[in-house]
Structure 1
Amino acid sequence: MPHLESHLDPEVLTLLAIGESVATPAEQDHLSTCPRCKAELSALTRTVVAGRSTVLLEDLEAPPDRVWSRISEELGFSTPAMTSGATAVSEIGPAVQTRPTNPSDAGADRSRAGSDAAPAHRRRRRGLIRGLFVLAASVAVVGVAVGGWALTRQATVVELASAELAAFPDHPGAEGSAVVVERGDETVIEVALDADVDPDSNREVWLITEDASEIISLGMLEGQTGEFVVPDTIDLREFVLVDVSDEPVDGDPTHSGDSIVRGALDFA
């Protein structure tokens, strides 16, 4: 079987990406051994999958207008790009439906003859390739722009309260801190502890009501710092005390009574 001396034509790779069986035996053989062509086909296929999937998605959260403005600038569009997220997809949508679903339609298509057939086929392919590469560019820019916007939102942290954790008599010199932050849909307590404790014991973080009538465990503190998600059912204005205890490895889930540090949350 003859082997290709150059890489596959971009048109062939594009048509393969959308599911067209257009590669010759020699091209198939080349594709199976060429890392570059494999990578290009894989990238184009991912773009097609992303485009087709976007058409089917519903109830997506729309990024603000500044995101689409940036996309328009990056792609050189004269009008705002993809305000509904479908412009690039629509360019290739009709072209993807290349196989007739009715056998009689297929026969009718093959029966057409004339000088316009070949040019029309070439125009269809050129339009398809252009559409796919527009989609690829759009997906890349959308990924950067929307991804950056999403990360910025996720990085927004609001501090709600804090506490200085003071040492108990049995642990002189120990000190710690607790900071309550709102991160997205979660309320998190960031705990830090500096203390000499038995390496064979555990440090457990607790929330306690001001009158010590109720207590809940948030989990074990591994190392000197840790983050603990506060259950939605817990009101921190009631469970206002943050406590870190020294817990022996004895299988008893209750508080050992050996608190290392404790402090009351001060809400901003």
Structure 2
Amino acid sequence: MSHPDPAELVALSLGETEPTPEQRAHLATCDACATELDALRRVVTAGRSRVPGDEPRAPGPNVWAAIRDELGIGDVAAEPGPPAEPVGTPGVEAPGVEAPPAAPATVTQLRPARRRGLAWAAVAAAAALVVGVVAGVAWADRGRASTQARATLVALPGWSGASGTAELQRTRDGSLQLSVQVDARASVGGFREVWLATPDLRGMVSLGVLDGGSTTLPVPAGLDVAGYPVVDVSEEPFDGDPAHSADSIVRGKLAR
């Protein structure tokens, strides 16, 4: 048996038809066709395994442009229609005028490679749609986080009126992050740094800079937050010293 038509492989991958005995025998001995059918089935399975509530969106024009570039077919233009019928009674020739001979009908067939390319173009479009949906869902899940503990940050001496909040969050990948919001007068000649500290403040770990009034910073992997439950936000000068300046703006203890 010759190689199955690409359209037949697509139909088999979609489950629209069952393979004939001849197709089964051919697929059992032809690695190329069997590999192509397996690839098509994987695309179909991925396309049908969407997350409920996340409706797929049609691929954008850039996807079709990439497909056209790959196949080298350019933009498809509308073909000219048949010439207009001469004025008169249909089927009756005008006196003294002979009807031109009808042009022979022609049937344009795509070469097998071209047909196979177009079949794969349709699959590529479906694959691009699936990838877009899966990537969007994965990114949305990555951004979701559950709150593990909260802290109310209160002003320390010299920072009357300052306040803030902090939330310890666990992301979908299992890592921890600290979201901090601080309301205090503007910093003068320095920057603000976020710390996790032990209850006696003898141990302190810097998480990063508070740029503006709020930020979310990753907690170092392996840090036992239970032993560092105090959130501290300090005013730091530009002196090149990484140690805490001892000028804390707000502070609070994380609790569930």
**TM-score relative to the length of structure 1:** 0.53
CA distance in 2 between partners of 1:241 and 1:253 (Å): 19
**Cα displacement (A) at 1:69:** 9.8
**TM-score relative to the length of structure 2:** 0.56
**Cα displacement (A) at 1:239:** 0.3
Corresponding position of 1:215:
204
Greater share of helix: 1
Give the superposed CA RMSD.
3.2
- Confirm whether residue 151 of structure 1 aligns to residue 139 of structure 2: yes
**Cα displacement (A) at 1:198:** 3.4
CA change 1:74–1:177 in 2 (3 A) is closer
The size of the alignment, in residue pairs, is: 163
CA change 1:166–1:179 in 2 (3 A) is same
**Equivalent residue of 2:142, what SS?**
helix
Task: Give the counterpart letter for 1:163 in structure 2.
Answer: A
**Equivalent residue of 2:49, what SS?**
helix
Q: 2:190 aligns with which of 201, 208, 216?
A: 201
- Confirm whether residue 248 of structure 1 aligns to residue 248 of structure 2: no
**Cα displacement (A) at 1:234:** 0.8
Q: 1:171 aligns with which of 149, 153, 159?
A: 159
Identity %: 35
**Contact (CA 8 Å) 1:206, 1:219: kept in 2 or not?**
yes
**Contact (CA 8 Å) 2:47, 2:126: kept in 1 or not?**
no
**Cα displacement (A) at 1:260:** 0.5
**Equivalent residue of 2:187, what SS?**
coil
CA distance in 1 between partners of 2:137 and 2:253 (Å): 36
Q: 1:66 aligns with which of 37, 43, 49?
A: 49
Task: Give the counterpart letter for 1:192 in structure 2.
Answer: Q
**Contact (CA 8 Å) 1:197, 1:246: kept in 2 or not?**
no
**Contact (CA 8 Å) 1:192, 1:225: kept in 2 or not?**
yes
**Equivalent residue of 1:67, what SS?**
coil
Q: 1:136 aligns with which of 124, 127, 130?
A: 124
Segments of structure 2 that go 5 or more residues without pairing to the other structure are 1-35, 40-44, 59-106
